[in-house]
Structure 1
Amino acid sequence: MVVLTFLGRLLVIFALAMLGLGLWLWLSGADVTQQAGQLWYVLDRVSLNGAQVLVQRHLHLPWLWDSGILPLLRRPAWEAVLWLVIGGLATGGLLLVISRRRARRSSFR
């Protein structure tokens, strides 16, 4: 249960960080209507390449990049950030609900 609680909190923190990133991009004047991958490439192409290498070569999950991350990078930046926030909050919240300890009922009524 401790692991589920930790993962749930980590996902909620990740979702809030993505929300902060989206707000920062919008307020800084970045074109959030262009593709997320294009915007990431303009901001920091080394980290984009590093993320691809990490997923495909080091984690040995090329299918994750091709079928999970790449379609997200082809969406508009605002939509990609929105999906990450919604997914992180929903999954993290679900894990936190599942890992919650149930209160014991008292024998006194």
Structure 2
Amino acid sequence: MVVLTFFGRLFVAAALAVLGLGLWLWLSGADVTQQAGQLWFSMDLESLNGAQVLIERHLRLPWLWQEAVVPLLKRPAWEAILWLVIGGLALGGVLLLGGRKRRRPSGFRD
């Protein structure tokens, strides 16, 4: 139960951090209507390449990069950020609910 709660809080915190990043990009004047991949490429090419290497080679999940990350990077930046925030909050919420302690009914006796 503690592990589920920990990961639930981690996903919620990560989602809020992505939301903060999105707000920072928007307020800094970045073009959030261009593709997320183009925006990431123009801001920090090394971290984009590093993320691809991490997912494809180190985690050995090349299908994850091709099937999930690439389509997300082809979306407008604001939409990609929105999907990451919604997904992180939803997954975190489910994990937090799964990690809650179950209460016994008041009339239950051992």
TM bracket (short chain): over 0.9
Cα RMSD (Å) of the superposition?
1.2
Counterpart CA distance in 2 for 1:62 and 1:98 is 30
Match of residue 66 from structure 1: 66
Question: 1:34 and 1:40 mapped to 2: Cα distance?
Answer: 10
Deviations 1:34-77 (A, max 9, x none): 00010001110000000001111111110000001000000000
- Give the Cα–Cα distance (whole angstroms) in 2 for the partners of residues 90 and 61 of structure 1: 23
Contiguous gaps of at least 5 residues in structure 2: none
For 1:87-106, what aligned pairs fall within 5 Å after superposition?
Answer: 87-106=87-106
In 1, the alpha carbon distance for the partners of 2:59 and 2:13 equals 23
Q: Which amino acid aligns with 2:66?
A: D
**AA matched with 2:39:** L
**Unmatched segments (≥5 aa) in structure 1:** none
Task: Point out 4+ residue stretches in structure 1 off by more than 3 angstroms.
Answer: 104-107
Partner in structure 1 of residue 44 of structure 2: 44
* Per-residue deviation, residues 9-55 of structure 1 (Å, max 9, x unmatched): 00000000010000000000000000001000111000000000111
**Percentage of pairs with the same residue:** 73
Q: TM-score of the superposition, structure 1-length normalised?
A: 0.95
